Amino acid sequence: MVLMENIDWLNYKGLEYRDGNLFFNDVSIIELSKKYGTPIYVISEQIIREKYRTLKKVLNSEYKKNHIHYAVKANSNISILKILNTEGAFFDCTSQGEIYTCFKAGIAPERIIYTGNMFTDNDFEFAVKNDVLINLDSISQLDRLVKIYKSLGKEKKTISFRINPEFGAGHHIHDITAGKEVKFGILEHQVVEAYKRAKHFGFERFGIHQHIGSGINNPYNFEKAAEKYFSIIKKLASSLKINFEFIDFGGGLGIPYHANEKPLDLEKYKEIVVKPFKKLIYVENLGEPVFKIEPGRFLVAESCVLLTQINTIKDNGYKLFAGVDAGFNILIRPTMYGAYHHIMACNKIRGKKMLKYDIAGPICESGDILGKERELPELKEGDYLTILDTGAYGYAMSSNYNSRPRPAEILISNGQPFKIREAETFEDLLKNQIIPDHLK
């Protein structure tokens, strides 16, 4: 695979070399690394806004009554939520903690959909008390939810079920979320029963939902699932006379992680998902439900780079390693999914002397490799590297493994850096531990 970065690709990613130094969104990332230390996540406000606007424009061009719910799990930093809130986004949450964070960002409950799975009664109580729309993942949960409504004396809101359309897609088996073997949603043969039951319990307003997987770059991978979903909606609408308030197609929109990949063709996505949706509601006379999607990665992945410094160059006679200060505690995607993140030298452009390095983090496992056999200009200890496209599922999946504090996050807005999260300290590592008296 050829992985040379060309100028267009760099520009598309908001990157540019000026006098041999890499700039991200008009800011010198070496200067940022020196000012704040490494590792650090650097996020561009402008890129998040651009991604949102691009997607919104495509949807609006076909069907105006649409809501883009940002999947908070991708990156739940409050500043990111606030940026998207000011753009008019809606939000998709998977836990009470995400809903709580949205509230702290000033997001109104009516802009949130709560798509959990394996909901506890406590989850339901939290959502019902806070007037958040619930998207159920199993029929049995309905019975429990009804009890919670009763015990809290609250009026029943809109209810929705997550459908498993059996045709899933995604960049890794862990992220394909449809299929008979998969834990999510309700299969076709139980869908009518689910809504019938909900009607029986007195629910009067309905939505419907599917999410087939994550990291889908080929728009045709949405096609079969969409067809199946449409046929299920058709069946439901005709057998139970349901007028849906919304029809949700989930997230999954991919981004080009490789330098030779093309961005997802949004016009094709529109052809495959939005146009047939419009046709369905017209032909089946379904009124004007809200068209919803829930992208996470698409909105934030490309807004962020992870900066790391090389501390060790090791040539073991077989392989060259560039040892850096970021490991899989900070970015787990390469280790967990074999995911590719493009890596570039911050202070050296590609030249005559290119060498192949494994970029190795400091975690005590051989799996702590952020990039394998990456062709880079000859590197030295003290050089800086930037790891691209880390805005989605980067910080959000980080941990304190090996007792390493998590890094800071810096937001670039109009060319100015703002620290939006402090790096953790050693005290943070210990703050929830309690030493029993006999060990004091």
**CB-CB contact of 269 with 358 (8 Å):** no
Nearer to ligand LLP, 67 or 211 (CB): 211
Question: Residue 230 or residue 298: which is nearer to ligand LLP going by CB?
Answer: 298
Tokens representing 279 are: 């046709």
Q: What's the farthest any 2 CA atoms get from each other in the chain?
A: 73
Nearest CA-CA partner of 417 in 110, 49, 36: 36
| Catalytic residue, candidates 102, 304, 346, 364 | 364
Q: Any idea what DSSP says for residue 164?
A: -
Contact (Cβ atoms closer than 8 angstroms) between residue 240 and residue 192: yes
CA distance 121 to 175: 26
Measured in whole angstroms, the distance separating CA 403 from the mean position of its chain's CA atoms is 26
- Closest to 167 in 3D by CA, of 181, 157, 153: 181
Dist CA 208 CA 235 (whole Å): 13
Determine which helix (DSSP H) or strand (DSSP E) holds 25, and give its type and residue range. Answer: none
Residue 41, phi then psi, degrees to nearest 5: -90, 130
**Closest approach of ligand LLP to the CB of residue 432, in Å:** 25
- Alpha-carbon radius of gyration of the chain: 23
- Cβ burial 225-253 (10 Å sphere, 16+ → b, else e): bbebbbebbeebbeeeebebbbbbbbbbb
Nearer to ligand LLP among residue 71 and residue 236 (C-beta): 71
Region at 86 (left for phi over 0; alpha for psi -120 to 50; beta for the rest): alpha
Minimum distance of ligand LLP from residue 215's CB (angstroms) = 5
Q: How far is the CB of 104 from ligand LLP (least distance, A)?
A: 21
According to DSSP, the β-strands at 206-210 and 384-387 are unpaired
Write down the least CB distance from residue 251 to ligand LLP, Å. Answer: 3
Half-sphere exposure of 136 (CA within 13 A, CB side): 26
Residues that bind ligand LLP (CB under 6 A): 71, 73-74, 92, 115, 175, 211, 214-215, 250-253, 294-298, 333, 337, 392-393
Q: Kindly tell me which of 331 and 379 has the beta carbon lying closer to ligand LLP.
A: 331
Q: Cβ closer to ligand LLP: 14 or 215?
A: 215
Residue whose CB is less far from ligand LLP, 101 or 214: 214
In the complex, minimum distance from the CB of residue 213 to ligand LLP, in angstroms, rounded to a whole number: 7
In contact, 170 and 145? CB cutoff 8 Å: no
Nearer CB in complex with ligand LLP: 123/175: 175
Q: How far is the CB of 397 from ligand LLP (least distance, A)?
A: 6
* Residue 420: count of CB within 10 angstroms of its CB: 18
Distance CA 231, CA 86 (A): 36
Q: Is 304 a catalytic residue?
A: no
- SS3 call for 11: helix
Length of the chain: 440
Q: How far is the CB of 220 from ligand LLP (least distance, A)?
A: 17
| Least distance to ligand LLP, CB of residue 252, Å | 4
**Shortest Cβ 115–ligand LLP spacing (Å):** 4
Contacts of 388 (CB under 8 A, 6+ apart): 13, 15, 257, 302, 305, 341, 342, 343, 344
Q: Which is nearer to ligand LLP, 166 or 383 (CB)?
A: 166
The answer to whether the bond into 407 is cis (omega within 30° of 0) is no
Q: Which is nearer to ligand LLP, 45 or 175 (CB)?
A: 175
Active site residues: 364
